[in-house]
Structure 1
């Protein structure tokens, strides 16, 4: 009688050469071989990603930072309309992140996804290469661009992470170059009133983050984080370029309009359409890019490696710092120019930043680590629901792994699909590339988004309320697209492919926006500043504008949820050093995002505020292009995780299987439930999840009955009849995350006010120091500086201090849930402070003003405390969210976890838009001007801020109850660490590391592991009859086939 181990998937092993340590988290290099620690990932890759992110952020915020001013000055919108328009556009940006995350997690992987979304390009196939001698592979399963295990020294780590951080900073700069002044753009250029502009900005911003679902879907499902980030950054660049052209040619007309004193004229339908297309292209690009770039940066660190593990922990802090630095530049320099009516200049600067971010992202392509997309999560959810009666086992092809190389232990692979070698993939090299990519993409995105409300008012002719509403819708759409990105990433494309594709869409959107603004919108020449609104625009111009900004929203939305996860994929969390690096990565990721938005809010914002919209948009496009290039550069170093398939099908399978077995008794011992053999399941090497209590009805889907065991071969029926414990726990995990996620939406409502009503409030205050004018959108620089400061204060002071006073042995201070709660409290204080400042602004108002910008004698610097408090709350809330959702999401839904963060922002923008609409409808009854009228001196904006403080306080109480109820996910341990990626083969035993399963015959396994699982189960090895099979633990049925 022969006992034969049947593999779940075939895996070609290659010989791994001697004396190299691989990552422990399963990551692989670009060839698909185990990631060698010293040659992949770590800070080299992370720095490239950081630079890429910075440049992309610069490009985005070069458009977005003063978009609200552009809308008021050039587009003729009032304050509310401009703020609304900016919110819509921003929302669209982040909505596209869903597409990026979906493609990355599902099909492409994070590297491929990031690359495609940063630029439109043909992804060339990489030939597999043998892993050279003396290289250590990653242990997290990441792979390089060729699908081989990521070699630690040649992929990932801080080199790639820094590129991603810079990319994030530049992309943030580009995004906030549009978004930070979008409410002013809507009022001054687009002619919207204050309430309408605020509503528009909220909708746009919500759309931006909504697109993050698209980016996360594409990244996790199909493209992977790299490809998703690249594609959405490309869309982001196209959107910024389109916005720049539209503003320059059509919206900022007559020349010199769009500043405080000179609103722009009415615009043609074409100009309005082009404007909306551009800002929602930006929303798509930034939305699809954002959830992927942070993950992609984290992917560059092997969390199973001691050094890279620490780097991964640090990355997210630096990522958020890069994001804030990018927005700081947008809020100051770009915001200044846009506030002066130079909208086209600000948008072109954002486009340039996005182009540079895309280029930097692509530069790191050879160094990035990737995780193969885990397939469409929707299909997996459906598979989970309807469980199969027959037992089935899926063989995987075994590939030889070269000797003495240490591979990642987390199941990551390189670009060739082979186990990631630690030294040649992932870690900080790949993570840094992702961080730079994120910074540049953020620069590019906010180069459009930060001043989008101004662009809508000054160039597109919307009033303040309409512009604010448009921006809110666009922003919400951006983040809504993050669901699409996450779905595609987790289900089909993988994070790399998803990031690349959505970054490419992002670049296309930025270029389209720049061209549209230059040719059609910013007309007559010189319009779009504070004093010279632009004329009416044709229907074609308006259509091109809308197409451009929503391409940007798609690209950024689909890219964002995947790039963060793809960055995290570069770290092997099972490796001591890389595990710490993975935790750090999210902080650095958010830092890169803020650095990108800093440039957008300052430099690009200044030019856009001066009416140089086309210049700002082109700068954003350039930043996005550079970010995409940097992302692609790290391709050989990235580690990947295979997409785990459609989660919806798995979800449905669990529900259907549980319903079919509603009469079946649930075992008291969770070990009696069915699970695949080994510590990794069939979904791309994802870890098995341990059984937890709660939602007991779903446990019936994993109950195995005698009818479901075939006596001939031991196969299990389809998953519509019988599901694994891991599939059931996936559904439980999502159900547990949803209440936490819902509680973060109101925080995002508070956060979105910074891009709309804060800007309009600042525009009505004293903005001059002697003869120097301070753009209102530039005040968000204090938010970015606050983020940068609090990231270091938290990591170096607060967290160690809290950890010292905790009774547990944990080296960590606050948990992620505690951090998010602190963020809510600080947000409440920020709204109270903002309302108090508005109360005193009204006390010193000028009642006889006609153009009431700067009509109060209260200095704009009184806004500093509310910006600082918002920045502090971001460090606790959004960085905590990134770490929490990334860590608590199942392995096949990592980008979806990041997309949840983006979607929270998306819905926050939409809720903000809805609140503004409801408040204006109620408060403007009986012929009253309302709380947020076009002339804020006649309104009561302070009441609106206090209302938000009350709503957030109620949300905090609910959050405390939900957080106390939440149960953390528990994964089954990885394959034990061995020195080197060894291969031993004979008739009875095969041992393969670098992310592969440990396989042996039962006889050999029993001899070597007598105290382990088989001995505990009491299996009689001398019997082969059907009765004996019934005695075997159901878990073993997925492992072993008994043959005569």
Structure 2
């Protein structure tokens, strides 16, 4: 996760510690705000937000099935769409913060939205009129009452507020924290702590709160999430007088959009090798002309998205001849903006290869919960909540993130003589994801074998004697793969992108996750229409076939990634 920091991270700074004495050190009165004094307030806000959202989302499939009488596959689909929305929302929140308001106001409003969201979830759990009458899906008797439009509207209002909270806080909390520090080493330490708190709070939400929801009451579980949101908001506001609040700098996405629009509007302009061409570099036209062909201020030549070069070509009326100010901003861009967009386009094939990973993981998460519901979840006297199964993946990510820098990567270097590149690490993540999908298929084969051996295919509530702890294995392998490919992709995008687009790196990862969740619902819809693999009765399903299909998809995608990686040429990272 250190991709957010410098490429030359000082190794003598432990990622799991910070200088407590710096809380007491006098600061320059000219720069009296910021520093580690802000850390406790931000840490509480990060943990409480993660705890609240983790507790609400981890058990969403179970909540829909048991309290809203939603068929299991439909519940998995709804949960996947919600997860996709919450994943893509932070991209929009980051753009709004960068372009208009800055991080702190957006984070504060988002934390308030989290409180309102948890209030809505608590109300849906506590007020009988906001849920349909309780019944047992698949049991003999009249069909279960479906939730009314008003009841689903109340639930979706809570989901919508949770999306707003995620949009404003998830990325902007990290940006806001980094803004408090001048030293790169301090920012690196903060980012490491940020991701540790993020995953740790998600684990707590998916265990403690889910356990309360399943064994005590949904009202108390959501109430705890609500209380956590209130504490997080209070902590954030209490630290307000210490925060640095840099002004909004404008979104880099606007500049990228201008390049596309300008290039399209000048599509009929012929760009040929000529000393008369003048490309805009923010200098006077005469200066730009004198430097256009020195290899520094001219766009890259033909063959490298050369169509976009038109966007920087000066034509009549584009700039003011006197001071070179832009007259028509959506018809002229700088060479730097054109080259920035080209950099993004060159990396898109590698980026697209990660989408299939997200699709497979999205399907695996939700269907593993459905598997756990019809498996033996007892560990001694403790019955593991089905919604807590994802903890295996989260813990695996945390463990392997800790092992990577300290053990695995040094061993790799000792065996091969070089530190693995980001693309090599991503490749390992792809391979482990293939193994994870195959492991899910094998576990499901064993589960369904016990169903058939007892002749219980027609009983949707029959619980297999096979331990649900076997589901931990695929999740653990998937988490290990994520520990390899997720931070390595952030590192790749962060270090390869030009300076104005550093924040876009994290946004690209969010888009991968969101697209994966959305496309996974499309995949499930296609499978349901084309096959009989996924009836509402999990004991009559052919889920094993779906997992083998995902295994094949991820394996083919791995080949696509290897091809893209072989063709890619690093710009800023040593090969």
* TM-score interval, normalised by the smaller of the two chains: 0.7 to 0.9
Structure 1 pair 712–842 and aligned structure 2 pair: CA distance change class (3 A) = closer
- Among candidates 540, 543, 549, match of residue 938 of structure 1: 540
Equivalent position SS for 2:465 = coil
Shift of 1:901: 1.7
CA distance in 2, matches of 1:854, 1:936: 10
How many residues end up aligned between the 2 structures? 540
CA distance in 1, matches of 2:416, 2:42: 34
Output one character per residue of 1:77-101: Cα deviation in whole Å (capped at 9) or x when no partner: xxxxxxxxxxxxxxxxxxxxxxxxx
- Among candidates 138, 141, 154, match of residue 274 of structure 1: 154
Cα contact 1:210–1:903 (8 A) shared by 2: yes
Cα contact 1:191–1:266 (8 A) shared by 2: yes
CA distance in 1, matches of 2:381, 2:132: 25
Q: 1:190 matched to which residue of 2?
A: 68
Q: 1:374 matched to which residue of 2?
A: 249
Q: 1:836 matched to which residue of 2?
A: 442
Structure 1 pair 651–878 and aligned structure 2 pair: CA distance change class (3 A) = same
Output one character per residue of 1:571-614: Cα deviation in whole Å (capped at 9) or x when no partner: xxxxxxxxxxxxxxxxxxxxxxxxxxxxxxxxxxxxxxxxxxxx
Equivalent position SS for 2:159 = helix
Structure 1 pair 705–198 and aligned structure 2 pair: CA distance change class (3 A) = closer
Equivalent position SS for 1:858 = strand
Structure 1 pair 325–660 and aligned structure 2 pair: CA distance change class (3 A) = same
CA distance in 2, matches of 1:364, 1:878: 31
Q: List alignment gaps of at least 5 residues for structure 2.
A: 7-16, 285-295
Equivalent position SS for 1:934 = coil
Structure 1 pair 787–362 and aligned structure 2 pair: CA distance change class (3 A) = farther
Q: List alignment gaps of at least 5 residues for structure 1.
A: 1-23, 26-41, 49-132, 138-148, 382-647, 679-687, 925-930, 972-1044
Output one character per residue of 1:185-222: Cα deviation in whole Å (capped at 9) or x when no partner: 22222222222122111111111112122212212211
2:262 aligned with 1:653, yes or no?
yes
Structure 1 pair 183–214 and aligned structure 2 pair: CA distance change class (3 A) = same
Cα contact 1:332–1:780 (8 A) shared by 2: no
Structure 1 pair 210–711 and aligned structure 2 pair: CA distance change class (3 A) = closer
2:284 aligned with 1:662, yes or no?
no
CA distance in 2, matches of 1:710, 1:913: 51
Cα contact 1:44–1:160 (8 A) shared by 2: no
CA distance in 1, matches of 2:364, 2:194: 20
Structure 1 pair 170–713 and aligned structure 2 pair: CA distance change class (3 A) = closer
Q: 2:523 matched to which residue of 1?
A: 915
Equivalent position SS for 2:51 = helix
Q: 2:559 matched to which residue of 1?
A: 957
CA distance in 1, matches of 2:129, 2:494: 41
CA distance in 2, matches of 1:228, 1:358: 12
Structure 1 pair 654–942 and aligned structure 2 pair: CA distance change class (3 A) = same
Cα contact 2:409–2:420 (8 A) shared by 1: yes
- Among candidates 295, 315, 340, match of residue 175 of structure 2: 295
2:215 aligned with 1:340, yes or no?
yes
CA distance in 2, matches of 1:258, 1:298: 50
- Among candidates 174, 181, 194, match of residue 59 of structure 2: 181
Q: 1:774 matched to which residue of 2?
A: 384
Structure 1 pair 863–702 and aligned structure 2 pair: CA distance change class (3 A) = same
Q: 2:11 matched to which residue of 1?
A: none
Stretches (4+) displaced over 6 A:
254-264, 688-691, 705-711
CA distance in 2, matches of 1:780, 1:881: 22
Output one character per residue of 1:715-766: Cα deviation in whole Å (capped at 9) or x when no partner: 6764455432211122213323433332222211222235411111111110
Shift of 1:855: 0.9
CA distance in 2, matches of 1:301, 1:246: 42
Cα contact 1:247–1:275 (8 A) shared by 2: no
Output one character per residue of 1:316-374: Cα deviation in whole Å (capped at 9) or x when no partner: 44333222211211222222233337222222222222222233333333444444323
Structure 1 pair 953–150 and aligned structure 2 pair: CA distance change class (3 A) = farther
CA distance in 1, matches of 2:529, 2:305: 43
Cα contact 1:664–1:700 (8 A) shared by 2: no
2:375 aligned with 1:765, yes or no?
yes
Q: 2:194 matched to which residue of 1?
A: 319
Cα contact 1:189–1:251 (8 A) shared by 2: no
Cα contact 2:282–2:325 (8 A) shared by 1: no
Structure 1 pair 800–252 and aligned structure 2 pair: CA distance change class (3 A) = farther
Cα contact 1:320–1:787 (8 A) shared by 2: no
Shift of 1:890: 4.7
TM (norm. structure 1) is 0.47
